[in-house]
Structure formats: C-alpha cells, structure tokens
C-alpha cells in the first residue's frame, strides 16, 4: 500500500505530473485484488481535488505519470495520445549488448493478459539508443561473464507492456522483469547489486499543453535504486544530468 504521496514534478490548474515509485499500482485492478491502495487514491486524498488518469505505467515501472485536473483537460490529452502527439522517453537496463541504435517494429496483441490466439495484433514500434555497456566477470547461466546495456527507449505506440515485450523479442529483456525477463539475471541483480526493482523508468514526457498548446516537457529523476546501479557500473556520465536526483 502506498504510504505517502509521490514527488510532484509539475502542477498547474490543468495538469498534475508525479514521479511514480516502482511497485505501486496506478489504480485498482481486478487482477490485483489483494492490493489495498493505489496511486490515484493516494493523490486524491493528498490533493483534495479530482484526479483524471490519462495514461498508465506498469506496476514495476517508475517515472513520470501525467494526470488531468478537470474533464476538458482529460479529453484534450486523450486526443493528443490518440494522435500520437505525446513523446515518451524511458531509461532501461537490459541483458546483453544491443546494437548502438535500432527499432523494434513488431505488432502486439493489445491485451497482454488475454489469450493471444483470440486477438488481432496491432502495430507497435519501439526505438532505442544504447547509452553504455558493461561486462562483469560473473558467470550467469552458461556464460563465464555477464553483459548489460543502458538504454534510452522511445515507444512510438502505447501497447500494454510494449517495451518489455519488444525488448524480449530481440533477446534483450529488461533486467528485473519477472514476467518477460531472464530469471538468472534478475537473481544476479538482487544478490550482487542489491537491487530488486525492474530496471525501467519513464524519465520524460512531452506534450502540447491542453490549455494553450505550448510544448511542455516534464522530467522524472531516476530513483535511488536505479541511480545506485548506474553509479556501481560507472554509467552516471552516460545519462543527462536532468535524469539524476539533485
């Protein structure tokens, strides 16, 4: 259960953006009946105003999450999402070394929880850029060492679990992903890096402001656990300063 309101990154009379912690649900779900709290409930309680979710982040993903504060703003932002006028940037650590940059253009079943054979896949595109790599002298699985890459990822569409499913499809799953990832590497991070979270965070979102259309960008600094891994790997200089806590 979420104990306190997350960090507020941006707020005006139309919008609220917060830095969602990893492991917190955005709203109640029939799939998580044991969960007693949600981010939406907490924000409504702490702000005392209506909160209108306009997109979501997976429970294990951290980062910037945008809410509307009145129905008109919610409708306008929904139109921006439908027209693909929203830009999102994620930081991720994946297994192995990817190409320096690339694109995954593989259609995905729209409901990641339902039988794929009963669904028609929809277009899905994810662009990525490699920021840093490391090879550690620790045997994980059949290899004598383990390799990881730090990624900047930009999804052009918004299918459920899109980044996680796409990175698995190219054999570079997100570290810490217990659904689509590699259990051996997940366990290595928990035991050697003392990091139990999934290494995926929404660090930036850009959009036309619903009130006047001005281009607006909100950045969410990486949390302590994510930053700690970057520091141990010598990767702090590989990311923009705005992605790091002040």
Q: Give the Å distances, CA to CA, from 17 to 54, 55, 176, 179, 204.
A: 11, 11, 25, 27, 11
* CB atoms near residue 106 (< 10 Å): 15
173 DSSP assignment: P
* CB atoms near residue 237 (< 10 Å): 9
Q: How far apart are CA 148 and CA 175, in angstroms?
A: 9
Q: How far apart are CA 66 and CA 82, in angstroms?
A: 15
Contacts of 75 (CB under 8 A, 6+ apart): none
Question: Which sequence positions are flagged as catalytic?
Answer: 58
């Amino acid at each position: 259960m979420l104990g306190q309101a997350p960090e507020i990154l941006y707020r005006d009379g139309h919008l609220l953006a917060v830095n969602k912690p990893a492991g917190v649900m955005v709203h109640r779900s029939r799939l998580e009946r044991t969960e007693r709290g949600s981010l939406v409930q907490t924000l409504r309680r702490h702000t005392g105003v209506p909160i209108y979710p306009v997109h979501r982040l997976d429970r294990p993903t951290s980062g910037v999450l945008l809410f509307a504060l009145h129905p008109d703003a919610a409708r306008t932002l929904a139109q921006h999402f439908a027209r693909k006028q929203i830009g999102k940037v994620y930081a991720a650590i994946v297994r192995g070394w990817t190409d320096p940059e690339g694109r995954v253009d593989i259609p995905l079943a729209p409901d990641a929880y339902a039988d794929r054979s009963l669904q028609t896949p929809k277009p899905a595109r994810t662009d990525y850029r490699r920021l840093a790599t490391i090879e550690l002298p620790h045997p994980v699985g059949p290899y004598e060492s383990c390799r990881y890459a730090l990624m900047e990822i930009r999804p052009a569409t918004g299918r459920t679990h899109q980044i996680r499913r796409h990175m698995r499809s190219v054999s570079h799953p997100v570290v810490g992903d217990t659904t689509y990832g590699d259990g051996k590497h997940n366990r290595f991070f928990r035991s050697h890096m003392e990091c139990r979270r999934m290494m995926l965070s929404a660090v930036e979102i850009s959009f036309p402001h619903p009130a006047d259309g001005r281009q607006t960008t909100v950045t969410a600094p990486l949390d302590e656990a994510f930053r700690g891994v970057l520091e141990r790997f010598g990767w702090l200089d590989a990311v923009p300063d705005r992605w790091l806590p002040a």
